[in-house]
Structure 1
Amino acid sequence: MMRRVAVRACGLWLIVAVVSPAWAGDQASAPDAATLALPATPLPFSEFASAPARERFIALQAEARAGDLPDPSDLAEQRRFYQRYNDTRLAEVRRAYDAEVRETTLGGVPVHVVTPRGHRETKGGRVLVNLHGGAFMWGAGSGALVEAIPVAVVSGIPVVTVDYRLAPEHPYPAAVDDVESVYRALLKEHRADDIGLYGCSAGGMLAAQAVARFLTQALPAPGAVATLCGTGLPFSGDTLTLGQIATASAPMKQSDLQRLPYLRTARLDDPIAFPGNDAALLARFPPTLLMAGSRDFSVSSLTTMHRRLLGAGVDADLVVFDGLWHAFLVFPDLPESKEAYTLIARFFDRHLGEAHR
């Protein structure tokens, strides 16, 4: 039986037709000998995941079945939908984490500076740069603060979250240009090894792109980078199918995500757009943290990037939360999100300023 479902990818709901409940069992024969037709198999929720994560997963599945989703062909509607969604997440974050937020510009780019309440600001010192998710098409403002506030409070390090230009109005490399401008401005007051860079989903991909840009522009590398639920490789591999099935979503192809408006001007052989394909460039990367949930379509890209970083001699950590989905960190009430914030904070605390200790 065919039905239309919402597939969430990089914060983007795609409406596609799939066969339910055992989409693979009724498909035609595999197109080649290495392609398997998967049998209908119940997938219990992971016993390693928390009870709150299980409850949230059930709620997300119910929301998807209800179909109260934006029209994927209407960008304005999608942006309104995700603004409301991110506003709701931000209210949850504000209740749990106390921080001061101010708007300013760095290098001509609008940013929010998030400072833990009571933190004594000094010139220089350690600072984190956050690059928000949202398919490169939304997520500025409340979406960025959802990612920035918990990490700032848990780490005790101020976070500058960048409101980079969005696609489709500004495709690649506009966002990379904006991050470079902010980074150059920060270098006037901070040592490079005191600056950490991180992002989630589209922001994870952008963080890797930004590091690659810095290196090719002969800028000093930041002290460390965290690419969460996205990294310096195209989304591809087994989890485009397995991760999607594990969230009752339709399998995807690499081409589905490469049609994102931001990436339409990026070539697969561009080492800035996809630095994970350039071994020489990877060898110059700073210590890197990669993180996702096991039911995230990005996991194959993250694990492959991790292997390539290790092969290039880079200090790289990989953390996968069993049973969790794409960008689960935006739900601050989950024990796994709290654990993730702590791991991110410890990672940056361990590596920032390392060369000057």
Structure 2
Amino acid sequence: MKPRYLISMLLWTTAAVAAAPPSAPRPATTASSAARADTSYIDAHGTAHVTRVVPVPKTVSAEAQAMLAGRLSDASSNDSIAQQREATDAWQAGAAKVLLKRYPVTVTSTRIADVPVRVVTPPTMPESHRGYVLMNVHGGGFVVDSGSLTESIPLAHTLKVRVVSVLYPLSPEHPFPAALDAAVRVYATLLKTYRADHIVIYGSSAGAVLTGEIAVALKQRHLPQPAALGVFSGFGDFSRAGDSMALFGLNGLSGPLQPHRSGVPLIPEYVGKTDPRDPLLSPLFADLHGLPPTLFITSTRDLLLSGTTLLERAFRRDGVPTRLVVFEALPHTFWNNPNLPESREALATMATFFRTHLRLDRR
């Protein structure tokens, strides 16, 4: 089985943050590099390759400008999901090696509530921090693990708090609500050891979507909410594609140029037979009153910019204390690139928000 459009774009942009794929025989047709002469052409198969010119802005760091200037192909991936998983695992292993040099931690594997997890522990942890934990639900389009290490290592080291990253069952083998149920089981088990107000749940991309779903599920199941949530480049509506998804695709900022078909749910492999407007699947349609303070982070070239901001507004309308941070010009989950000053700023923003709501600064 080959990954569909949104999955392809999510995986494309995540990997592209760290490294560009090999260049094609002809010039790549993305808008990531500086304005240039028209290199449009029609290939031997009759496909038109149209040059789009969105220049690299000078409003970001030199490191970000260099990343954005890379030429990245619009071509759709022909890799199977198995191949995508193999490639993503290799990418994350390499990224983790880089991160561990900068943010030393210990990573162990175990199971909680019969769900595989990674436990990321800082080398030094104040005694007063031992009663706190962050629960990460990783990104990866619901089909791969593109963040259980990269999303957990920096925060565990920075906050000096243990992180439990949930390796939830992946689609298409396990459609909704398998991942959600697994994550809720892990959280419910953590509650036997940690107070709810000593826990934070967060995730990027697919993990950001799951974070919203988990909060709604906890409310429906009458389980206590955590101290805070982190929704980083996500969305809360599987029934409709946001404006940024189409806009950024047309401008070469989101990978394969394929329009989302109206009437087809986003990521159907994950949605399965569930109504895309089910409030447990799509929190945009849920009653969000009583959810904990939530940090939303996105960026102006994030294909999920619309999804993130729409969900933040829904949270805010229902009285949830929110903070929305939008970074200039950067792509989907740019914080996976540890070399960007903006990534370090995003990490500091996450750490400060979580520290404040866990009240670690008072311990």
State the TM-score, normalized to the length of structure 1. 0.82
- For the 8 Å contact 2:245–2:304, the answer to whether it is kept is yes
Q: Secondary structure at the match of 2:139?
A: coil
Hey, which bits of structure 1, 4+ residues long, moved more than 4 A?
5-8, 19-22, 120-124, 254-257
Deviation at 1:46, TM superposition (A): 2.4
| Amino acid in the other structure paired with 2:227 | G
- Per-residue CA distance 1:317-342 (angstroms, 9 max, x = gap): 11111110011111111111111111
Residue of structure 2 equivalent to 1:193: 197
Partners in 2 of 1:246 and 1:290 — Cα distance?
A: 24
| Amino acid in the other structure paired with 1:331 | N
| Amino acid in the other structure paired with 1:103 | S
Deviation at 1:86, TM superposition (A): 1.6
Q: Secondary structure at the match of 1:9?
A: helix
| Amino acid in the other structure paired with 1:253 | H
Give the fraction of aligned pairs with identical amino acids, expressed as a percent.
33
Partners in 2 of 1:158 and 1:227 — Cα distance?
A: 19
Structure 2 counterparts to residues 1-357 of structure 1, below 5 A: 8-11=8-11, 42-59=53-70, 61-62=71-72, 64=73, 71-72=78-79, 74-120=80-126, 125-139=131-145, 143-234=147-238, 236-244=241-249, 245=251, 247=253, 249=255, 250=257, 252-253=259-260, 258-278=266-286, 281-352=287-358
Alpha carbons of structure 1 residues 197 and 6: separation in structure 2 relative to 1, 3 Å = closer
- Per-residue CA distance 1:2-58 (angstroms, 9 max, x = gap): xxx999522258xxxxx9689xxxxxxxxxxxxxxxx99732222221111121223
- For the 8 Å contact 1:150–1:341, the answer to whether it is kept is yes
- For the 8 Å contact 2:30–2:53, the answer to whether it is kept is no
- For the 8 Å contact 1:135–1:260, the answer to whether it is kept is no
Partners in 1 of 2:189 and 2:7 — Cα distance?
A: 38
- For the 8 Å contact 1:70–1:77, the answer to whether it is kept is no
Q: Secondary structure at the match of 1:292?
A: strand
Partners in 2 of 1:243 and 1:291 — Cα distance?
A: 18
Partners in 1 of 2:90 and 2:323 — Cα distance?
A: 34
Alpha carbons of structure 1 residues 323 and 7: separation in structure 2 relative to 1, 3 Å = farther
Q: Count residues with an aligned counterpart.
A: 324
Q: Secondary structure at the match of 2:297?
A: strand
Alpha carbons of structure 1 residues 220 and 274: separation in structure 2 relative to 1, 3 Å = same
Q: Secondary structure at the match of 1:125?
A: coil
Deviation at 1:181, TM superposition (A): 0.8
Between 74-83 and 176-185, report the one with greater CA deviation. 74-83
Partners in 2 of 1:292 and 1:198 — Cα distance?
A: 14
Deviation at 1:213, TM superposition (A): 0.7
Alpha carbons of structure 1 residues 139 and 209: separation in structure 2 relative to 1, 3 Å = same
Partners in 1 of 2:198 and 2:254 — Cα distance?
A: 42
Unaligned runs of 5+ in 1: 14-18, 23-38
Q: Alignment RMSD, CA only?
A: 3.0
- For the 8 Å contact 2:297–2:324, the answer to whether it is kept is yes
| Amino acid in the other structure paired with 2:313 | R
Partners in 1 of 2:30 and 2:91 — Cα distance?
A: 28
Q: Secondary structure at the match of 1:239?
A: helix
Alpha carbons of structure 1 residues 259 and 146: separation in structure 2 relative to 1, 3 Å = closer
Partners in 2 of 1:265 and 1:252 — Cα distance?
A: 22
Partners in 2 of 1:20 and 1:113 — Cα distance?
A: 41
Deviation at 1:139, TM superposition (A): 0.8
Partners in 2 of 1:133 and 1:271 — Cα distance?
A: 21
Unaligned runs of 5+ in 2: 14-27, 32-49
- Per-residue CA distance 1:102-129 (angstroms, 9 max, x = gap): 1111111111111111224679622101
- For the 8 Å contact 1:294–1:325, the answer to whether it is kept is yes
